[in-house]
Amino acid sequence: MKTRLALLLTLIFSVASTVPSFAASDRFALVIGNAKYPDAEAPLKEPINDAREVADELKRDGFSVDIGENLTGDTMRRAFDRLYGKIKPGSVVLVFFSGFGVQSSRQSFMIPVDAQIWTEADVRRDGFSLETILGEINNRGAGVKIALIDASRRNPFERRFRSFSAGLAPVIAPNGTLVMYSAALSSVISDNGGDHSLFVQELLKEIRVPDLMAEETLNRTRVGVTRASRSEQVPWISSSLAEDFSFIPGSGGGGPRPSGPTVANLPPPLPDSPQPPQAPRYNPPQPPPLADLPAPKPPAETVAPPLEQPSNNTGNNSSSSQLALADDPTIKSLTAKIADNPDDVSALYRRGQVYASKGAYSLAIKDFDDTIRINPRDVEALNNRCWARTVVGDLQAALKDCNEALRLRPNFVDALDSRGLVNLKSGATRNAIIDFDAALKINPRLTSSLYGRGLAKQRNGSISEGNLDISNAKAMDPNIVQEFASYGVH
C-alpha cells in the first residue's frame, strides 16, 4: 500500500512539474498611461487613472509591474528596454497602453506625448510599433505575450494627413500572443468623460473573476463593453495562444489548447439583457485659452472670384462611384452606426473624413454639417469643412469656417493652412502669404503651406522667392504638385 501511494505521489509531482506555474517572478508588465499631448485641445481624462488601476490589479495578480505616465519618446524607449531586460524563457509579458494610437502602413503605433507628427512618415519615426514590440518580446523568449491597447481615440494627428486610415490596424503577432484593442479595427471612439474608460471598467471586472482563462477574460470584457455601449463600441481580439493562462495565479493550468475558433471569430453578443444607462456619447470641448501670440488678422469676408475651376472630383458624379462608396467597409460600418443614432458625432465626423479622403467632398461636407450642428465649437470639423468647401470652390463659406475655427482656437495651424488655400484660390495672394507664413512659423515642415506660399509669392510678383519655396516643398514631398492639382490649384 505504501509503495502504491509513493508511486502515485511521484506521478502527481511529475505531472505537476510539467505544468507552467507562471509564478510572480515569471510575470512582467509594462503599463503606460499617456494623457498630456501638447497637440490635443486638453489632457485626456482617462489614461492616467486607467493605467494606475490596471497596474494595481496586475500587482495583485502576481505581476512585476513597471508603470509610466505621460512618457516621452525617450522614456518610452527606456521603459521597453527595461521590460526586455527582465524577460526569461517562458515568461508571461503584458503590455498595457492607454493614450493616442495611429495606424500607418498597416501597423498600429503607440504615440508618446512629445511626438511631432505632421506627416505619415513622422508616425513611423516617433511612434512605437506594436508588431515590433511583440516581436522583440518573443525574441527574448517570452512564452505568453499579451497586449491590451486602449488607443482607438479620435486624435489630433490624423487630420494632418490628406489620406489616412483612422483607428488601429490588425496586428501580425508571433505565436503565443493575445492582443485586444478597445474598439474595432479602423474605428475611433470618444472618451466618455468619466474617470475611467468603459474598456478598462469591464476589463478589471473580468480580470478579478477567478478560474478564467485569459481568452475567456477578454471575451467577457468584449461582451461587457459591447452591451454597455449598445454595440457602439466593440473591442477587437486576436489570439494565437498555444497554452492556457489565467490572470489569477494558480487558477489556470497549461498544456495543449482544444481546437476551435479563436475569440476574434466569435459572433458579437446579442443584446438580450437589460441595458445599463449609457454614458454621454459626447462632451463638447471648452474653448482653449488664447495663445500668447495674437492670431493673424483675418482677411475680409469678401473674396474675389476664384482663379481655378472647382475640382470635379466630388465622388458623386456617377451611380457607380456612389455604389463603390456604399460598399466601402469603413463607410458601411459608420453608416450603420449613424442609422442607429443620427447624432453619433464621432461616426459623423469620421465618415466625413473618409468621404473627403476618397474625393466625395459633397458627402463629406454634409457629414461635417451635421457634426457642427451637434457641436458648433468643433474646430476640427470646422477646419475640415473649410478645406472641403475650398476644394469644391465654395470659397465664401469656406472662409467663414476657417475664420470661426481660428476664432475658437487662435494659431490653429491646420486652419491657417486651410485658410491660406482659400485665399490662394480666391486670388487674395497677400492674405494667403500671411496665413502660410503663420503656419510655417508653427511648423516649418508643413509642406502644403510651403508649396502654397510659393504659388502665392509667384502670383504676387515675387518669382524667385516663390520658386525657392516650391523647390523646397517638392524636395520634401514629390507628390505635392499632384496634391494641389487635386484641389484645383495649378
* pLDDT given at position 211: 81
Q: Which residues of 99-119 are buried (b: 16+ CB within 10 A; e: fewer)?
A: bbbbbbeebbbbbbbbbebbb
Is 437 exposed, middle or buried (CB count within 10 Å of its CB: 0-12, 13-18, 19+)?
middle
Are 485 and 458 contacting, i.e. CB atoms less than 8 angstroms apart? no
Domain spanning 20-265 has what CATH number? 3.40.50.1460
pTM score: 0.54
Of 487, 135, 108, nearest in space to 312 by CA: 487
Query: What amino acid occupies position 128?
Result: F
User: Three cell numbers at 212?
Assistant: 478564467
How far apart are alpha carbons 363 and 326 in whole angstroms? 12
User: Three cell numbers at 171?
Assistant: 496586428
Pairing of strands 107-110, 128-129: antiparallel
Every domain of the chain and the residues it spans: 20-265, 380-486
User: Three cell numbers at 293?
Assistant: 501670440
Q: How far is CA 108 from CA 68, 158, 161, 167, 438, in A?
A: 20, 13, 16, 8, 32
The secondary structure element, H or E, covering residue 327 is helix 319-327
The secondary structure element, H or E, covering residue 148 is strand 144-150
- The per-residue DSSP string of 207-239 comes to HTSTT--HHHHHHHHHHHHHHHTTTS---EEEE
* pLDDT given at position 159: 65
Of 403, 387, 366, nearest in space to 483 by CA: 387
User: Three cell numbers at 31?
Assistant: 503599463
Of 97, 71, 66, 59, nearest in space to 84 by CA: 66
Are 111 and 100 contacting, i.e. CB atoms less than 8 angstroms apart? yes
How far apart are alpha carbons 119 and 164 in whole angstroms? 10
Over the stretch 414-448, which tens digit does the pLDDT of each residue have? 889 999 999 999 999 999 999 999 988 877 777 88
Are 153 and 189 contacting, i.e. CB atoms less than 8 angstroms apart? yes
Of 447, 286, 315, 462, nearest in space to 375 by CA: 286
Residues in the chain with pLDDT values less than 70: 1-25, 158-165, 191-193, 249-323
Query: What amino acid occupies position 334?
Result: L
* pLDDT given at position 267: 34
Over the stretch 406-415, which tens digit does the pLDDT of each residue have? 999 888 888 8
Superfamily (CATH H level) for 380-486: Tetratricopeptide repeat domain (1.25.40.10)
Of 219, 334, 235, 232, nearest in space to 279 by CA: 232
Are 213 and 244 contacting, i.e. CB atoms less than 8 angstroms apart? yes
Q: How many CB atoms lie within 10 A of CB 271?
A: 11
Are 30 and 148 contacting, i.e. CB atoms less than 8 angstroms apart? no
Query: What amino acid occupies position 139?
Result: N
Are 19 and 254 contacting, i.e. CB atoms less than 8 angstroms apart? yes
* pLDDT given at position 193: 66
Question: What is the three-class DSSP state of 94?
Answer: strand
* pLDDT given at position 290: 31
Of 88, 115, 107, 105, nearest in space to 147 by CA: 107
Residues 408, 100, 200, 227, CA torsion sign: positive
Question: What is the biggest distance separating any 2 CA atoms in the chain, rounded to whole angstroms?
Answer: 107
